[in-house]
Amino acid sequence: MKLKQRLQQWSFFKDFGLVDKGVLQPACHHYVHFLRSTVAFEPVEVGMAAILPCFWIYKQVGDYIFKSHNGSGNPYQRWIATYGGGEFAISVQRAIDICDNVASKSTPEIKNRMTVAFVAASRLEYEYRNAAYHLTKW
C-alpha cells in the first residue's frame, strides 16, 4: 500500500475512540508556532530546514520501534508499519536530498539560518516527545 494511502486510512483518534482533541499543550504549541512562523517569515530554504527534523526523527523513532517492538500485539502496529521500514525511509531520504540540494545553492548566511532552524526544530521535536511521555500540561 502506498504511504499516502496508509496515512489517510490510519486514524489514531478513530481507532482509540477519542473524540475530544483537547488543549494544545505547551511543547506542541511551541513547536507548531515555531514551524508556522519560520515558514511564514523566513526564506523558503529556512522553512524547509525547519520542517525536515519532523520527518527525519519520525523515521529514526519508527525504525527503532520497528526493529525492537514490532509485533502483532502492539497497539501501535499501524503507526510502526507506516513510519518504520523502507517506504517512509524513501520519502524521508528524498526530503533530505532536496534540502541538501537547496542548501548547496544557498548563500552562507542562508545555510547558517537553515542550520539554526534545523537545530531549533530538532530540540522542539525532542521536547514534544518528552512532554508526551511525561504528560506535560499547562
Residue of 42, 45, 99, 125 with catalytic role: 125
At 127 the pLDDT is 97
* Model confidence pTM above 0.85: no
**Residue spans per domain, the chain:** 23-134
Class of domain 23-134: mainly alpha
Catalytic residue among 54, 99, 109, 127: 54
pLDDT tens sequence across 48-97: 999 999 999 999 988 888 888 767 788 878 778 888 878 889 999 999 99
* 54 catalytically annotated: yes
DSSP string covering 85-120, please? SHHHHHHHHHHHHHHHHHHHTS-HHHHHHHHHHHHH
Chain segment 21-34, per-residue pLDDT in tens: 678 899 999 999 99
- First-to-last C-alpha distance (Å) of the chain: 39
